[in-house]
Amino acid sequence: MSTMSAYMSALGKEKRSVNTGMLAGNGTIRASVKGYASGKLSKEELHQVWKAVEEALSAGALGISLGIAYAPEFEYDRDGLVEALQPLKGTDIPITTHIRNEGDGILLALQEVISVAEELQIPLHVSHMKCIGRKNWGGTPVKILKLFDQAAERGVKVDFDLYPYLTGSTQLVHLLPPQFQEGGTDAICARLADPFCRKEITKVLKQPSDIFENIVELAGFDMIYASTLHTEKFGSFAGQSIAKIAEQFGQDPYDTLYDILLEERCQVTMLDTIASEEDMLYFLKDSRANLISDAIYPAGGKYHPRVYGAFPKLLTAYVRDKKIFSIEDAVYKMTAKPAQVLGLPLGTLEKGMPADINVFHLDQLSVHADFQNPNQYCTGFDYVLVGGEIAVAHDVWRNSKSGRIVRKQQ
C-alpha cells in the first residue's frame, strides 16, 4: 500500500484483539522516493518526502520513526534530517529514533538527534537506549542522562525507552559498515562475492569506530548469533553464534559472516549480547524512561524471547524478585508513560477511559520464554480486557476482536 491512509483503512477492516497505532517510517518514506540510492535528496524528491510525511500525519500517524543507523536512512546527514522533517516543525509530534551509533560514538549520535529536535522544536524519543561494548558501560550512561538534562534546560523534550534484556536483535546485515550496505541487496551481495571487497570490509570491522555502530568489534563473534536462517546450507545453524558456525566450517568468522549474508541474500536476523544490567537498570529508573519489547517477528528461526516476555519479565524479575521497582512504577512505565510520549490520553484507570485492563496477581506470573526456547507465552494473567471485552481469560486467548485503531489526536 502506497499511503498511510490506505494502510490504516485496511487495518481497520481487520478485527483484532489489540489496539494498534502507527509511526511513519522516515527510512521507508525515503526508500519510496529515492530507493536505496546514495546521496542527498533533490528538490523534487524532498517535496515528495514532505508530501508523504504530511499524508501519514493526516492519516493519524502518532509520530515519525527514524533508523539512522540503517540503509537507506544513514544517507541523511544532520542537516538532511532537519530538511526532511520540516513538516513537523513547531508541532508536538515526536520523532522516535534509533540513533546512528550506540557504541563508541553514542554521545555524538545523541547530540545529533538532540540538535535536530531542538532546531525543529519538536519532542525527541530515543529508542532502545543502551551502551554497546564493555568499554562504554558505567560512565557513559551518566554522561547520557546529563546530556538529556542539559537539553531539557534549553527546552528540548527528551524521553527514551528500553527493553529488559542485555541481548538485542536486528538484521545481520547491520554488521556491515554503512558504505558497504549502499545500493540494496543486489549491490551488497555483489560486494560480498568479491574477495577484495571482503578484505576491505574486514579491515574496517577490525577497528573501533565512532562513525558507525561496529558491533563486531564491540561484542565479538562469540556474542553474535544468527537467529533466522532459511537456506539448506545454513538453516540448521539457526541460534548459533557466528564464531561457532565458523568453527564447524573450519574458516575465519569474518568469511562465515559474509558467506551467510550472501547465501541468504541478507534475509537474516541476529541476536547480539551487548549491554550491561547495571546500565539497563540505571536507565530504566530514570523518570524519562518507558518499557518496550522492541520485538521483531522473523519468519522462522529463533525469536528473541522479548517477543513473548519483555513486559512480564520486568514484573517478575525486577518488581517481585529483586524488588528494584514498585509495581506502580513498573506499570506506569508500561502504560501511561509511553502514552504520554505519543501524545495519547491513555494508560490510566479512570472513569471515562477506555477499558483496557490487565488483571493478574504478581505471585502467579511466570515467564517461560528464554533463548533456547523463546516461542513460549508467559502465564499467570487472569484477564486481559480490550475495549471492555475479555481478550484473554486465564491465559487463554479469546480473540475478542475489540481492538481499535489509535490515531493522533488532532
Tens-digit pLDDT profile for residues 158-175? 999 999 999 999 999 999
Mean pLDDT in residue range 203-215: 93
pLDDT band at 295 (very low <50, low <70, confident <90, very high): confident
pLDDT band at 372 (very low <50, low <70, confident <90, very high): confident
Please give the pLDDT value at position 410: 63
- The x, y and z cell numbers of residue 124, run together, are 525527541
Residues 168-207: pLDDT tens digits? Answer: 999 999 999 999 999 899 999 999 999 999 999 999 999 9
- The x, y and z cell numbers of residue 335, run together, are 502504560
Q: Give the sheet arrangement for strand 158-162, strand by strand.
A: 24-25, 64-67, 95-98, 124-126, 158-162, 289-291
Q: Give the sheet arrangement for strand 357-360, strand by strand.
A: 357-360, 381-386, 389-393, 396-397
Please give the pLDDT value at position 268: 93
Is the pLDDT at 297 greater than 70? The verdict is no
Residues 300-317: pLDDT tens digits? Answer: 777 899 999 999 999 999
Residues 238-280: pLDDT tens digits? Answer: 999 999 999 999 999 999 999 999 999 999 999 999 999 999 9
Spatial CB neighbours of 117, under 8 Å, sequence gap ≥ 6: 95, 123, 124, 156, 157, 158
Give the start-to-end residue ranges of the domains of the chain: 4-164+278-302, 170-273, 303-410
Please give the pLDDT value at position 305: 93
pLDDT band at 73 (very low <50, low <70, confident <90, very high): very high
pLDDT band at 1 (very low <50, low <70, confident <90, very high): low
CA dist., res. 265 & res. 189, Å (int): 7
Is the pLDDT at 208 greater than 90? The verdict is yes
Is the pLDDT at 76 greater than 90? The verdict is yes
Please give the pLDDT value at position 161: 98
Is the pLDDT at 59 greater than 70? The verdict is yes
Residue 152 burial (CB count, 10 A): 12
Share the mean pLDDT of the chain: 95
Q: Looking at the domain 4-164+278-302, which fold is it?
A: TIM Barrel (3.20.20)
Tell me the three-class secondary structure of 201-246, residue by residue.
Answer: HHHHHCCCCCCCCCHHHHHCHHHEEECCCCCCCCHHHCCCEHHHHH
Please give the pLDDT value at position 378: 96
Please give the pLDDT value at position 267: 93
